[in-house]
Structure 1
Amino acid sequence: MQSLTFEYPVWYLAVCALAGLGVALLLYFRADNPAPRALIWTMAVLRFLGYSLLAALLLSPLLRFVQTDREEPIVVLAQDVSESIGLETDTTAYTTQWTALRNELAESYEVVTYQFGSQVTQDGPLTFTDKQTNLDAVLTQISDVYGNQNLGAVILATDGIYNEGSNPAYREYGLQAPVYTIGLGDTTRRRDLRVSRVFHNRIAYLGDQFSIQIDLNARNASAEATTLTVTRLGEGGSRTVHTERIPIDQADFFTTREVVLDADRPGVQRYRIAVAPLAGEAVTANNQRDIFVDVLNARQKILILAAAPHPDVSALRQSLQTGRNNEVEIAYANRFTGRVQDYDLVVLHQLPSATQRITPILEVIQQAKLPVCFITGPAVPAPLLNAAQDLVTIGGGGTQVQGNDVSARLVTPFTAFTLSDEVSRFLPAFPPLTAAFDNFSAGPGANVLLRQRIGRVDTEYPLLVVGQDRGVRTGILLGTGLWQWRLYDYLDGGTHDRFDELVSQLTQYLTVQEDKRRFRVSLPENVFAENEPVRLDAELYNSSYELVNEPEARVVLTGPDDREYTYTFTRTTTAYTLNAGTLPVGNYRYRATTQMNGEELLSEGRFSVQAVEVERYTLEADHELLRRLSSRYGGEFLLPDQLGSLSDRLRESGGVKPLLFETVNTRSILNLWGVFALLLALFTGEWVLRRYTGGY
């Protein structure tokens, strides 16, 4: 549709016509014009039209036209492809119905198909094998993508069971279209016994115990009984570690059982929690669950080697033993016959001394790169201590010096490890220790945590120092009397927590070993779900410990039944990465290799893949949730046998129809080539006639 508009009043066109008429009359209707009458009239009309049109163009006329666009309605089909649908539905027949509905709707509308389970995909196959269901994710994506388009209807086919994401009943989606829900599955309350939930720690420490909390549900099974078993599954077979008989005394039965197990084997351990099925159970897949517990062999052997019995030795042992993974042994230098290299940390109390220089032990500590903590006092000769370490230098040169009472003064900032605010505030209040009456100075590699306060004078003498000494993490406490700190802590607060925290943090700092391997493989976690990809990252260092990735790196994964999977790492900027995809459930070993300058480098480890079976635990469809969604968005709740009539329902509703958009455009008539051609034709015609008559 087109129309002509002007920037000036329309009556200006009459002025333009009068101007054209005046020009024509003055030029052609003179008394001395000898041309034939018909020719004069023809040329006058051409002149009149040409000048009138030219004058009208000076009024800047605009051509206005309306453009109409048509947007077809969109119908979104969203199909739940989770495992619970496949367990309760004849998927072959249903897939045929769903495909027929999609094809029928595609004849009249623009159809978009989604499949959803743990993730939302578009135009995928109907496999019904997803391990989780996220209803909120698919509705959110439909709302985000099509909320501002001509969305005619949303058809959501599911059983209403969701085990991931938010409850759709309590979410508001920006859907301006009716939602038709197709209720799949079975809502019948059948006899069922299931392991509904299992709570457990994912990490335990070797030699400790860990607890498993098991929630059991039973329906329509009153006056029955079942047997709960916990079995450890491993490469060497299975072993039952717990058995318990559970009576069921109610129609709607629920109970929680706690099972305490021993972490007696390192590595990722797989346990199966199962209950014996009841007679007449329709589904037994939810009668068991598998869990994985990573048992860490993090136990540390600590040797307290003393010159003689002392209250400090007992205080240290009691504090260190509060760490569940610490194995503490006390020995005396004159009677010690063990192997120092078998320990993870050596605490030397009042050693080396004038009578017990322990030179062989110090040499073994240095050769084995064992962390060591010196606890000294006035009885430790300064030359021997200076020779044993480089973190602190004592000025005296004798073997016996006078003692001096010194309090602790906290140094801030301190970056080697952290202490709680309560411990930091309380340290200056601890009773004085007995230190040597001498000059002390910290070495360049020392990190000072506590300095000495003598009476009311704050000195720069170190009291507690840690650092890297000769390639070994070392700690030095330049005073004795720690037993008073532990006793005072209990007298003040009723616990030894503050003293134990100080000892624990110091011990953790000393026993942390730096990873010096040149080829390392790391995993984001030790236990993967069966529906998530297994990812491995690797780092390779040259002899200067610079990251490189020129050599090719490979890894072999060995899974259940000794089946091997061979992969090649992908290079990143300076390292390697691997996405091995999803793997079958079970325990795996990995063996990664590469070569650097002819040397083969190796990194080995373990991980596990656990089953995701949440779709099997609850099979009772929730059609009430679907009815609420349809009611809120003006749709209908339908059953699968009503799929054939859904297309007719959409047409009868009248809401699924195209949208027409009108766009008004204006264009100056001066830009039209036809106007120029008309003007050219008028003036050319007049010129030709005048030439013919001899007017030019």
Structure 2
Amino acid sequence: MQTATLLGVLLAALFSLLIVLWQYFYKAKKRGRLNWVLAFLRFISIFGVLLILLNPKISNVSFQLEKQNLLLLIDDSQSIKSGGASEQIMTLNEQILEDEALAERFILRKFAFGSDLRTSDSLSFSEEVSDISGALSSADNIFGRDKTLAILISDGNQTVGKAYEYMGNDLSFPVYSLVVGDTTRYADLRINQVNINKYAFLKNRFPVELFVTLQGNEAVDSRLRIRMDGKIVYSTGIRLTPQENSKKISTTLEAAEVGLRMIGISVDSIPGERNTLNNKRRIPIEVIDEKTRVGLISNVLHPDLGALTKAIESNDQRSVSLLRP
């Protein structure tokens, strides 16, 4: 309540009291218990009317201390174990969770990640892939609107996902990294992205687009192969350098058989490459046998009908019938 409003309420109470005293005690010839009752009722009525005219607003402000979220994001991939950092991570995990000063200031939330982010009380270091960028994005989607800090414990060797080094501006909270284990960045060739339709028509050619990237300091030569149901249908050599470390490859494949076909894409490993899991991708595509029948209605035979029929039937999914009206 503001000072001016409070002063107005006090003056209204004083004014009501003065009127009651003047009417029921100063002017009254007789003073008894009834005067007190009537004086009280008159005071309430006058004071109430004045309060309605003043219309004071009463607000209540309360403060509550909310702790920030402290996210503990732990790499649970096999590279941690092979790099001899599993014991180091377990020690860091215990130290952070048992720290009383952190517990007083933050709400500690523990997560493990490999291919995806998950809550976990135990660590197995058995995940085949490590997606650091995916873990950070998932945490941001969940806690991005709250006051949050994150501690990332990892060896930094990501096998799938986006380049997490450049995600700082995309996240809603700061991330503090604790690097453990073997942090050496080995040469790595990977298939980053594959664009392919889910469906294709029989005897048609469908496009396949993919990107191959290199992580390393030396130029490398490799070979890309595309298989359909185990049979090689496309093969090409690729060369990548530290300056041109990404290559886009586009081709078309023929849908020869109806049904669900499996497209396998692989790139040969390079010398010194440790992670070969990201050298392969398998994507299903369904081949559909579907035709559209087109009717040409004419009461005369005309040479243009033949040309039109030939143009329409150049697509195997179209068949033409000549009809008379």
TM normalised by structure 1 equals 0.31
Please state if 1:241 is matched with 2:242.
Answer: no
SS at match of 1:144: coil
- Aligned amino acid, residue 135 of structure 1: L
Structure 1 residue 264: deviation in Å? 0.7
Please state if 1:112 is matched with 2:108.
Answer: yes
2:226·2:232 contact (CA, 8 Å) conserved in 1?
yes
- Aligned amino acid, residue 161 of structure 2: N
Please state if 1:144 is matched with 2:145.
Answer: yes
Structure 1 residue 295: deviation in Å? 1.9
Cα distance between partner residues in 2 of 1:160 and 1:243: 29
2:191·2:280 contact (CA, 8 Å) conserved in 1?
yes
Structure 1 residue 119: deviation in Å? 5.8
Please state if 1:203 is matched with 2:199.
Answer: yes
Give the equivalent residue in structure 1 for 2:123.
126
Cα distance between partner residues in 2 of 1:99 and 1:292: 41
1:299 to 291, 305, 319: 291
> 1:572-611 to 2 correspondence within 5 Å?
none
- Aligned amino acid, residue 263 of structure 1: A
Cα distance between partner residues in 1 of 2:66 and 2:323: 86
1:229·1:243 contact (CA, 8 Å) conserved in 2?
yes
Please state if 1:271 is matched with 2:269.
Answer: no
> 1:288-327 to 2 correspondence within 5 Å?
288-300=280-292, 309-311=301-303, 313-314=305-306, 316-318=308-310, 320-321=312-313, 325-327=317-319
Cα distance between partner residues in 2 of 1:119 and 1:215: 22
1:74·1:109 contact (CA, 8 Å) conserved in 2?
no
Structure 1 residue 273: deviation in Å? 1.3
Give the equivalent residue in structure 2 for 1:101.
95
Give a deviation string over 1:327-354, Cα, whole Å, max 9, x none.
Answer: 33xxxxxxxxxxxxxxxxxx4522xxxx
Give the equivalent residue in structure 1 for 2:249.
257
2:266·2:280 contact (CA, 8 Å) conserved in 1?
yes
- Aligned amino acid, residue 325 of structure 1: Q
Cα distance between partner residues in 1 of 2:223 and 2:85: 34
2:210 to 208, 214, 218: 214
1:85·1:184 contact (CA, 8 Å) conserved in 2?
no
1:206·1:263 contact (CA, 8 Å) conserved in 2?
yes
Higher RCO (CA < 8 A, seq sep 6+)? 1
- Aligned amino acid, residue 170 of structure 1: N
Identity of aligned residues (%): 20
* Structure 1 residues 83 and 268: CA distance shift in structure 2, 3 A: farther
* Structure 1 residues 95 and 70: CA distance shift in structure 2, 3 A: same
- Aligned amino acid, residue 104 of structure 1: E
SS at match of 1:270: strand
- Aligned amino acid, residue 290 of structure 1: R
Structure 1 residue 94: deviation in Å? 4.2
Give the equivalent residue in structure 1 for 2:72.
78
Cα distance between partner residues in 1 of 2:76 and 2:162: 12
Give the equivalent residue in structure 2 for 1:648.
none
Cα distance between partner residues in 2 of 1:165 and 1:281: 19
* Structure 1 residues 76 and 250: CA distance shift in structure 2, 3 A: closer
Aligned Cα RMSD in Å? Answer: 4.3
- Aligned amino acid, residue 349 of structure 1: L
* Structure 1 residues 80 and 315: CA distance shift in structure 2, 3 A: farther
SS at match of 1:281: coil
Cα distance between partner residues in 1 of 2:150 and 2:211: 38
SS at match of 1:109: helix
* Structure 1 residues 287 and 109: CA distance shift in structure 2, 3 A: same
SS at match of 1:101: helix
Structure 1 residue 203: deviation in Å? 2.4
Give a deviation string over 1:355-413, Cα, whole Å, max 9, x none.
Answer: xxxxxxxxxxxxxxxxxxxxx2xxxxxxxxxxxxxxxxxxxxxxxxxxxxxxxxxxxxx
Moved more, 213-222 or 115-124: 115-124
1:206·1:299 contact (CA, 8 Å) conserved in 2?
no
Give the equivalent residue in structure 2 for 1:228.
224
Extract unaligned runs of 5+ from structure 2.
1-9, 11-62
SS at match of 2:186: coil
How many pairs are equivalent? 254
Structure 1 residue 305: deviation in Å? 8.5
Give the equivalent residue in structure 2 for 1:634.
none
TM normalised by structure 2 equals 0.60
* Structure 1 residues 316 and 183: CA distance shift in structure 2, 3 A: same
Cα distance between partner residues in 2 of 1:306 and 1:294: 38
Cα distance between partner residues in 1 of 2:213 and 2:163: 23
- Aligned amino acid, residue 205 of structure 1: F
Give the equivalent residue in structure 2 for 1:193.
189
Please state if 1:135 is matched with 2:136.
Answer: yes
SS at match of 1:137: helix
Cα distance between partner residues in 2 of 1:239 and 1:172: 44
Cα distance between partner residues in 1 of 2:80 and 2:228: 30
Please state if 1:349 is matched with 2:323.
Answer: yes
Give a deviation string over 1:593-651, Cα, whole Å, max 9, x none.
Answer: xxxxxxxxxxxxxxxxxxxxxxxxxxxxxxxxxxxxxxxxxxxxxxxxxxxxxxxxxxx
Cα distance between partner residues in 2 of 1:86 and 1:297: 49
Give the equivalent residue in structure 1 for 2:36.
none
SS at match of 1:229: strand
Please state if 1:169 is matched with 2:168.
Answer: yes
> 1:55-94 to 2 correspondence within 5 Å?
76-81=70-75, 83=77, 90=84, 92-94=86-88
1:72·1:109 contact (CA, 8 Å) conserved in 2?
no
Cα distance between partner residues in 2 of 1:125 and 1:230: 40
Give the equivalent residue in structure 2 for 1:524.
none
Structure 1 residue 207: deviation in Å? 0.7
1:115·1:121 contact (CA, 8 Å) conserved in 2?
yes
Flag the structure with larger Rg.
1
2:177 to 170, 175, 181: 181
* Structure 1 residues 84 and 292: CA distance shift in structure 2, 3 A: farther
Cα distance between partner residues in 1 of 2:267 and 2:299: 59
Cα distance between partner residues in 2 of 1:164 and 1:244: 25
* Structure 1 residues 72 and 255: CA distance shift in structure 2, 3 A: closer
1:190·1:220 contact (CA, 8 Å) conserved in 2?
no
* Structure 1 residues 308 and 301: CA distance shift in structure 2, 3 A: same
1:231·1:271 contact (CA, 8 Å) conserved in 2?
yes
